[in-house]
Amino acid sequence: MSADTVGVAVAQFGPTADTEANLAQIEDFVRRAQGRGAQVVLFPEYSSYFVDPFDESLARNAQDVDGPFVQALTAIAARYDVHVVAGLLERGTDGRRVHNTVVAVDARGLRARYRKLHLYDAFGQRESDWVEPGEVAEPETFDVGGLRFALMTCYDLRFPEVGRVLADAGADVILVAAEWVRGALKEHHWRTLLTARAIENTLFVAAADHPPPLGVGHSLVVDPQGVQVAAVGTATDVAVAHLDVDAVARVRRVNPALALRRFTVRPRL
């Protein structure tokens, strides 16, 4: 593989209420992805702990970002010399609700954290009954091999302002950890929105979902022109894409949409 590429893997699996089993699956996929050249491995939302439907066990099983789950991810990242990005059930502030958080770690520990901003109070669901929204803050990013990575979670994909803020923070790649719930047209929405966020921001988008029966699956990597470059179907599996470090700059020279726009994004407080 070229020295001018960065290997990014999307790992699709269905987390359970057994955190140790989730970590075993994560390590297996990291080992497989690293063997195929991955330097960044992305896992789904709620990778540390998941139950359906949600119940009081979420708060009991939530952890801090320096807790055992993130420590275990850091150890895995160190063993395989990669960055691991995964969903964490993080302790909230009121003792009843939790934060739906994505963490990025390497061998040194935490590199970036993202708390889900928009909660899934839609399509008959009420995530806000169990989860606190994250505060609007400056994006946390990390760099690997000449590319800057930023984080996003699931339902935030439906809000184009989130992707635009990450692009303005210098992101070349947006990593989306998701549990995109199945339903009428949901797979179509998933693919369309991932592609739109890539095209409108002229950057890469990589997304990891839960497989059926709860998620739609179809974890994938999309390039800055909206072309799918790697994907998983509906199985528990991992796919690796080798991202051209120069692709974002090359596409933006031809399509300078970000530079030509006349609007900025301001938070609604």
pTM reported for the whole predicted model: 0.97
Class of residue 88 by CB neighbours under 10 A (exposed 0-12, middle 13-18, buried 19+): buried
Q: Which pLDDT tens digit goes with each residue over 38-64?
A: 999 999 999 999 999 999 999 999 999
Say which residue the tokens 């938070």 belong to.
267
Beta carbons of 43 and 85 less than 8 angstroms apart: yes
Q: Which pLDDT tens digit goes with each residue over 162-179?
A: 999 999 999 999 999 999
The torsion angle over the Cα atoms of residues 32, 70, 81 and 224, rounded to 10 degrees, is 70
CA distances from 184 to 9, 181, 234 (A): 28, 10, 16
What is the set of active-site residues? 45, 116, 154
pLDDT of residue 3: 61
Within 8 A by CB and 6+ apart from 46, the residues are: 15, 87, 89, 100, 179
Q: Which pLDDT tens digit goes with each residue over 180-227?
A: 999 999 999 999 999 999 999 999 999 999 999 999 999 999 999 999
The Cα diameter of the chain in Å comes to: 51
pLDDT of residue 257: 96
CA 119 – CA 219 distance, rounded (Å) = 21
Closest CA to 243 of 258, 254, 257, 227: 227
